[in-house]
């Protein structure tokens, strides 16, 4: 056992309650309201969190706005901000074990997978610390006549609304570039998993981030999230979550013409051609849908397999899925833990039942033996799934996969594009020409060729169709969180047609 965990598996050092963090101080909700946070292994409440409303959001936005207009952060040199971001990264990495155990306990994520989240979060801060120091902007010259250059400026208060899957790491995706570019922020974490977000305040204080630059309001999307989206002093909203929620945010932001970056749902295809390395493809597609409990936006939850290898693939895939270890999140041997919340568990199980009428169940299909309580689901595999099936078309966001055969490249492409989503795609083939042509034609914001979901922070992250609006990552994040002002300087005789000239 680590220093942070007692014999019950519950992390030690938990706060007595989860509060908001506004202008450098932990505070309760103005109206005193709270909500209970559940342990996904037992579905019993283990802590209460302050439930933010419009008044709490107004206080947080006021603090962030004042820090932006009157505080030092936006005007600091990039190197000065980079030093703070690098220190944040060092602190995050030093607390890896504590963070992993809190994340695992709060979200049901297996502890071995939770341990990687601190390193990824730290790398996000280091990456943007480096990027803002190396950042250069365009200059355009007309020799002897004019110089034009881009003056890049932070925009103001960024509203960050984050999901409940791998929450700490996904918060870092938004916090790092927003802060690096000189903005101030109000973070509204997911109500299912608010625990790890409460660590940011202490990390930022220790790193020297000025008060008011980072503010956190817990609560529900319908109250706290809605108030943040509609606040007139929040010009930017970055949201990760469901497509339906994204539509609501889009509509509510429209009267204010806010800048929006939204990474939404996915139903990503993994296409396996008959010339693929079959063992590697099976290992990758098993990991691609069952890692992180299947609660990942880029999960390859539709596997399309060429017919000549289809029967062998299904047989081997089902056998391996049955060997995936479901267990307590705190057990290092666990590969699939508990789903985040009973509401989500019921949703996933409803799709399992739907799948039994739409495909051939070859693995899983219910609760694992020995887990009569909590949100545990067997890794579930359906074969022979038709493209009009709900489990083919709709995002399940759990350890459930649909396998469908195809004959030709053209049919595979039609099947791959046959959903409203377009976040990611995975292509498995040894034919180089096919790999590139297929990846260019598939409707997805990101494509991995003969590769699992390995992220390069320099590349754009985002989807098309119902999977998102805009992209973040690398310079795309810098662009989103800054205004690019064009400044024009005359070097010669003023080119100025004169109206109303005196003869």
Give burial (CB, 10 Å; 0-12/13-18/19+) of 45.
exposed
Instruction: Give the residue among 206, 119, 107, 40 at the shortest CA–CA distance from 455.
Output: 119
Asked if 297 is an active-site residue, the reply is: yes
Give burial (CB, 10 Å; 0-12/13-18/19+) of 216.
buried
Alpha carbon dihedral 186, 192, 195, 196, in 10-degree steps, equals: -70
Contacts 24+ apart (CB under 8 A), 3-11: 3/97, 4/97, 4/98, 4/101, 4/102, 5/101, 5/330, 9/41, 9/105, 9/328, 9/330, 10/39, 10/46, 10/105, 11/98, 11/101, 11/102, 11/105
Could you give the CA distance from residue 471 to residue 253 in angstroms, rounded to a whole number?
A: 18
Q: Which of 103, 123, 263, 295 is catalytic?
A: 263
Residue whose pair of structure tokens reads 């970056």 in the numeric block: 261
> Residue 297 has which token pair?
């936006």
At residue 45, φ and ψ (nearest 5 deg) are -65, 140
Q: Which of 123, 191, 295, 297 is catalytic?
A: 297
Cα distances (Å, whole numbers) of residue 118 to 12, 20, 98, 383, 457: 18, 22, 10, 36, 15
Q: Residues 6 or more apart from 93 whose CB is under 8 A from it?
A: 118, 119, 122
CA 89 distance to own-chain centroid: 18
Asked if 295 is an active-site residue, the reply is: no
* Full strand arrangement of the beta sheet holding 482-490: 139-142, 146-154, 482-490
Could you give the CA distance from residue 489 to residue 429 in angstroms, rounded to a whole number?
A: 54
H-run or E-run covering 104: helix 96-107
Instruction: Give the residue among 298, 277, 276 at the shortest CA–CA distance from 287.
Output: 298
What sign results for the dihedral spanned by CA atoms 370, 375, 376, 378? positive
- What is the Cα gyration radius of the chain? 24
Active centre residues (catalytic): 263, 297
């Amino acid at each position: 056992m680590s220093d942070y965990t007692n014999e019950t598996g519950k992390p030690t050092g938990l706060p007595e309650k989860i509060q908001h963090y506004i202008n450098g101080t932990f505070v309760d909700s103005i109206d005193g309201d709270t909500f209970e946070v559940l342990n996904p292994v037992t579905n019993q409440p283990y802590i209460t969190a302050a439930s933010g409303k419009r008044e709490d959001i107004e206080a947080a936005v006021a603090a962030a706005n004042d820090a932006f207009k009157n505080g030092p952060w936006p005007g600091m040199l990039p190197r000065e901000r980079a030093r703070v971001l690098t220190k944040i990264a060092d602190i995050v990495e030093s607390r890896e074990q504590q963070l992993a155990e809190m994340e695992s306990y709060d979200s049901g994520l297996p502890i071995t997978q939770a341990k990687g989240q601190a390193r990824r979060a730290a790398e996000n801060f280091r990456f943007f610390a480096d990027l803002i120091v190396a950042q250069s902007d365009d200059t355009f010259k007309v020799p002897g006549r004019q110089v034009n250059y881009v003056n890049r400026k932070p925009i103001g208060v960024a509203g960050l609304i984050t999901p409940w899957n791998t929450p700490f790491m996904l918060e870092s995706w938004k916090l790092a570039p927003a802060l690096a570019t000189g903005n101030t922020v109000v973070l509204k974490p997911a109500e299912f998993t608010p625990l790890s977000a409460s660590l940011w305040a202490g990390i930022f204080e220790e790193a020297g981030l000025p008060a008011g630059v980072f503010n956190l309001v817990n609560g529900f999307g319908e109250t706290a999230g809605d108030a943040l989206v509609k606040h007139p002093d929040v010009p930017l909203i970055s949201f990760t979550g469901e497509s339906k929620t994204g539509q609501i945010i889009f509509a509510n932001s429209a009267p204010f013409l806010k800048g929006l970056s939204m990474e939404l749902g996915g139903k990503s295809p993994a296409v396996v051609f008959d010339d693929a390395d079959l063992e590697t493809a099976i290992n990758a597609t098993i990991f691609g849908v069952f890692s992180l409990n299947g609660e990942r936006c880029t999960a390859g939850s539709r596997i399309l397999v060429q017919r000549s290898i289809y029967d062998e693939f299904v047989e081997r895939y089902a056998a391996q899925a049955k060997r995936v270890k479901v267990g307590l999140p705190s057990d290092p041997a666990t590969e699939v833990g508990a789903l985040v919340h009973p509401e989500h568990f019921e949703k996933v199980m409803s799709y399992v039942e739907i799948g039994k009428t739409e495909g051939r169940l070859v693995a899983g299909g219910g609760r694992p033996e020995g887990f009569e309580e909590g949100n545990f689901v067997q890794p579930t595999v359906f074969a022979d799934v038709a493209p009009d099936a709900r489990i083919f078309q709709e995002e399940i966001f759990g350890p459930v996969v649909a396998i469908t055969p195809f004959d030709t490249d053209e049919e595979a492409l039609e099947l791959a594009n046959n959903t409203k989503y377009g976040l990611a795609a995975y292509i498995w083939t040894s034919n180089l020409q096919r790999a590139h042509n297929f990846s260019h034609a598939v409707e997805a914001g990101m494509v991995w060729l003969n590769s699992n979901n390995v992220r390069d922070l320099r590349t754009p992250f985002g989807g098309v169709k119902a999977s998102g609006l805009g992209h973040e990552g690398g310079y795309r994040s810098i662009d989103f969180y800054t205004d690019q002002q064009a400044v024009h300087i005359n070097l010669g005789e003023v080119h100025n047609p004169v109206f109303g000239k005196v003869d």
